[in-house]
A and B are shown apart, each in its own frame.
Chain A
Amino acid sequence: DTAVSQTPKYLVTQMGNDKSIKCEQNLGHDTMYWYKQDSKKFLKIMFSYNNKELIINETVPNRFSPKSPDKAHLNLHINSLELGDSAVYFCASSQRGGNEQFFGPGTRLTVL
């Protein structure tokens, strides 16, 4: 009965590869987010979707492409992975933007 789930939990890959992280929420929320937590623990929002529509797109390289097939899912695809992409990526959801957010367990991405 996990509220916000992410797969995979760990992802180790080589530079230049393309990878995807999946997120699903069963809270009935209409807004989903991707955050990046770097090695210094700083958490920064990357994207936000409301009812499958992109509403927040921070200054993220266009190698990162979010996709929301429905309001319960938000996936993150990363092309041409770089060393600096190594981080923990968190998915979150809320009922409308600005309300209480609930976070998934995170995906630790390591680019070698």
Chain B
Amino acid sequence: GIQVEQSPPDLILQEGANSTLRCNFSDSVNNLQWFHQNPWGQLINLFYIPSGTKQNGRLSATTVATERYSLLYISSSQTTDSGVYFCAVATNAGKSTFGDGTTLTVKP
């Protein structure tokens, strides 16, 4: 099956700092999503981004499908950004594979 690797596994930032999270995947995919799991356990959709670049406020994401990676950028981080960020990829059969996540801690 598809392998999904996220880096770094853990990240600690001061409020206001910027960061880049990476997701590498081992095969062609039809779908790539970024999720934020907040400290209450909710999985929040950030981006549906099989290819290209999208921006939503302080967050943006870029997927280069031909090179099998995606990046999530967080600018001017806030304490509410803390949590686990997951990348998930899916084939056209609909089977999703999640990465192990990046745990982000933003300190005030």
Contacts and interface: CB of A to CB of B under 8 A. Distances in A.
Interface of A: 31, 33, 41-45, 48, 50, 55-56, 88, 90, 94, 96-103, 105-106, 108
Interface of B: 30-31, 33, 35, 37, 41-43, 45, 48, 84, 86, 88, 90-98, 100-101
B interface, over-half SS: strand
A97 B100 contact: no
13 contacts: A48-B95, A56-B95, A96-B94, A97-B90, A97-B93, A98-B92, A100-B31, A100-B33, A100-B45, A101-B33, A103-B35, A106-B41, A108-B41
Q: Which 6 A-B pairs have the closest CB atoms?
A: A97-B94, A100-B48, A103-B43, A43-B98, A98-B30, A98-B90
Contacts of A41: 37, 84, 100-101
Contacts of A102: 45
A43 B33 CA distance: 14
Nearest to A97: B94
B100 A45 contact: no
Residue among B92, B96, B98, B101 facing the most chain A CB atoms (10 A cut-off) = B96
Contacts of A31: 94
Contacts of B93: 55-56, 97-98
A42 B94 contact: no
B70 to A, nearest CB: 14
